[in-house]
Structure 1
Amino acid sequence: MIIPIPPMTNLLSASMFSHDCSRNEDHPTVIPICRITAVRQAQVYGVLHYSPQLKHLFLCSTIDDLKSTRLLAAAISRMSNLHTLHVLNVAFEWPESKLVPTIVACCPPSLITLDIRYRSWDEGCDSKELKTEEDWEAAVEAVKHFMPLLGEENGVPIVPRQGSLDRLSHLHTSQLETLTLEEVLSVFKQCPNITNIFNLELGGHIDPMDVAKCIIEHCPKVNRLTHHHVLVDFQLIMNILSILPTDTLQAFVCCVPDKSSANLASRLLRHSASLREIHLRKYQDFSSKAFQSILVHCQALETFSCEGHGPVHTIKFNLADVTEIPWGATRLKHLRLMIAMDYVEPTGEGPLYQRLSQTNLSAADYNQMVMLKKLYHQIGRLIDLETLNMRLFDPLRPGYYTKDDEISFPGMLSLPREDSNRLGYLHLLAGLKKLRTLHRVIIARHDETIKMVEQPEVEWIAQNWPSLEEITFFRSPEPGQSKPQPRPSCFLWLQDQMPRLKMHVPGTY
Structure 2
Amino acid sequence: TQMAQVCWLVFLNRGLVDLRLNGIPLLDRRVGQLLAGVIAGLSKLRRLEVLVHCVKRGDDWMRLWPYLFFACPPSIQKLRMIFEDYQANCGVRHSVEEEEVDDDDGEYYETNYGYEPKDMPHWEYYLDYEMEEEELEEDEGGMSEDLVVPAVAATSFVRRQEPLSNLEELFFHGMHGYHWDSLTDLRSMFTHCPNIKKLNTYVKAGDEAIKAMGQFIAKTCPKIEVLEGGSFQKDSRGSEEYRILTSLPAQQVIHVELIDCPLKIIDPAFNIKIQQHSIILREIHIGRNRSHVTISASTILKECSNLEALFVPFSINGYYITLDDALRSPWVCTKLQTLMIAISGCDLPVEREVLLPYYLRPPPITLSETYHFSQLEDLYQQIGTLTSLKDLNLRMVPLKANGQVDERKVNNNIAMSFPAMLSVGDTYAGRPGFLNHLSGLKKLETLRGSFSAETYESEKTIEWPEVVWMDQNWPLLRHAEFFSDKNKVTPPFKWLKSKRRNGRPLLRIVAGYESSGEIGSEDDDVF
Does the TM-score normalized on the shorter chain lie above 0.5? yes
**Aligned equivalents of 1:285 and 1:295: distance in 2?**
24
Shift in Å, 1:169: 1.6
**Aligned equivalents of 1:125 and 1:134: distance in 2?**
28
Shift in Å, 1:186: 2.3
Relative distance call for 1:370 and 1:204 in structure 2 (3 A) is: closer
In the alignment, does 2:44 pair up with 1:81?
A: yes
Moved more, 290-299 or 118-127: 118-127
Relative distance call for 1:471 and 1:125 in structure 2 (3 A) is: closer
Residue of structure 2 equivalent to 1:27: none
**Aligned equivalents of 1:382 and 1:406: distance in 2?**
25
**Aligned equivalents of 1:255 and 1:210: distance in 2?**
20
Local SS of the residue matching 2:339 = strand
**Aligned equivalents of 1:241 and 1:369: distance in 2?**
39
- Which of 469, 472, 490 aligns to 1:488? It is 490
Residue of structure 2 equivalent to 1:400: 408
Relative distance call for 1:151 and 1:264 in structure 2 (3 A) is: same
In the alignment, does 2:95 pair up with 1:129?
A: yes
In the alignment, does 2:358 pair up with 1:344?
A: no
Residue of structure 2 equivalent to 1:236: 240
User: What is the 5 A alignment of 1:196-207?
Assistant: 196-201=198-203, 203-204=205-206, 207=209
User: What is the 5 A alignment of 1:28-177?
Assistant: 40-59=2-21, 60-93=23-56, 95-120=60-85, 121-122=87-88, 125=91, 127-130=93-96, 132-133=98-99, 137-138=108-109, 143=115, 144-148=117-121, 151-152=124-125, 156-161=155-160, 163-175=162-174
Map Cα deviations across residues 71-115 of structure 1 (whole Å, 9 max, x no partner).
111111222332322111223526432344322222123322211
Local SS of the residue matching 2:34 = helix
- Which of 397, 410, 424 aligns to 2:433? It is 424
Relative distance call for 1:353 and 1:122 in structure 2 (3 A) is: farther
Shift in Å, 1:448: 2.1
Local SS of the residue matching 2:228 = strand
Residue correspondences, number: 459
The answer on whether the counterparts of 2:25 and 2:54 sit within 8 Å (CA) in structure 1 is yes
- Which of 472, 494, 506 aligns to 2:512? It is 506
Q: Which amino acid aligns with 1:345?
A: V
Runs of 4+ in 1 over 6 A off after TM superposition: 284-287
Relative distance call for 1:128 and 1:456 in structure 2 (3 A) is: same
**Aligned equivalents of 1:174 and 1:181: distance in 2?**
14
In the alignment, does 2:464 pair up with 1:459?
A: no
The answer on whether the counterparts of 2:358 and 2:431 sit within 8 Å (CA) in structure 1 is no
Relative distance call for 1:214 and 1:324 in structure 2 (3 A) is: closer
Residue of structure 2 equivalent to 1:374: 378
**Aligned equivalents of 2:498 and 2:100: distance in 1?**
70
**Aligned equivalents of 1:117 and 1:280: distance in 2?**
23
When normalised by structure 2's length, the TM-score is: 0.78
User: What is the 5 A alignment of 1:204-353?
Assistant: 204=206, 207-228=209-230, 234-258=238-262, 260-261=264-265, 262=267, 263-283=269-289, 290-310=296-316, 313-341=317-345, 342=347, 344-345=349-350, 350-353=356-359
Shift in Å, 1:264: 2.6
The answer on whether the counterparts of 2:241 and 2:257 sit within 8 Å (CA) in structure 1 is no
Residue of structure 2 equivalent to 1:187: 189
Relative distance call for 1:98 and 1:124 in structure 2 (3 A) is: closer
**Aligned equivalents of 2:325 and 2:156: distance in 1?**
62
Residue of structure 1 equivalent to 2:480: 471
The answer on whether the counterparts of 2:180 and 2:203 sit within 8 Å (CA) in structure 1 is no
Map Cα deviations across residues 115-171 of structure 1 (whole Å, 9 max, x no partner).
111223428646533564469953669644443455347964123446332332210
**Aligned equivalents of 1:354 and 1:137: distance in 2?**
87
Local SS of the residue matching 1:165 = coil
Local SS of the residue matching 1:449 = helix
Q: Which amino acid aligns with 1:166?
A: S
In angstroms, what is the RMSD of aligned CA positions?
Answer: 3.2
Moved more, 246-255 or 213-222: 213-222
Between the two proteins, what is the percent identity of the paired residues? 26
Relative distance call for 1:215 and 1:257 in structure 2 (3 A) is: closer
The answer for unaligned runs of 5 or more in structure 2 is 102-106, 127-152, 515-527
- Which of 443, 446, 462 aligns to 2:455? It is 446
Q: Which amino acid aligns with 1:430?
A: S
**Aligned equivalents of 1:204 and 1:371: distance in 2?**
44
Q: Which amino acid aligns with 2:53?
A: V
**Aligned equivalents of 1:459 and 1:445: distance in 2?**
18
Local SS of the residue matching 1:400 = helix
**Aligned equivalents of 1:443 and 1:131: distance in 2?**
61
Residue of structure 2 equivalent to 1:6: none
**Aligned equivalents of 2:89 and 2:66: distance in 1?**
29
When normalised by structure 1's length, the TM-score is: 0.81
The answer on whether the counterparts of 2:163 and 2:193 sit within 8 Å (CA) in structure 1 is yes
Map Cα deviations across residues 431-456 of structure 1 (whole Å, 9 max, x no partner).
11111111123122222222211111
Residue of structure 1 equivalent to 2:443: 434
Moved more, 114-123 or 129-138: 129-138
**Aligned equivalents of 1:99 and 1:391: distance in 2?**
46
Relative distance call for 1:206 and 1:65 in structure 2 (3 A) is: farther
Residue of structure 1 equivalent to 2:142: none
Map Cα deviations across residues 269-327 of structure 1 (whole Å, 9 max, x no partner).
322222221111135899756212221222222111112342xx552411122123211
Local SS of the residue matching 2:9 = helix
Local SS of the residue matching 2:62 = coil
Map Cα deviations across residues 220-248 of structure 1 (whole Å, 9 max, x no partner).
22012234367566543333222211122
**Aligned equivalents of 1:44 and 1:284: distance in 2?**
42
Map Cα deviations across residues 24-50 of structure 1 (whole Å, 9 max, x no partner).
xxxxxxxxxxxxxxxx22222222222
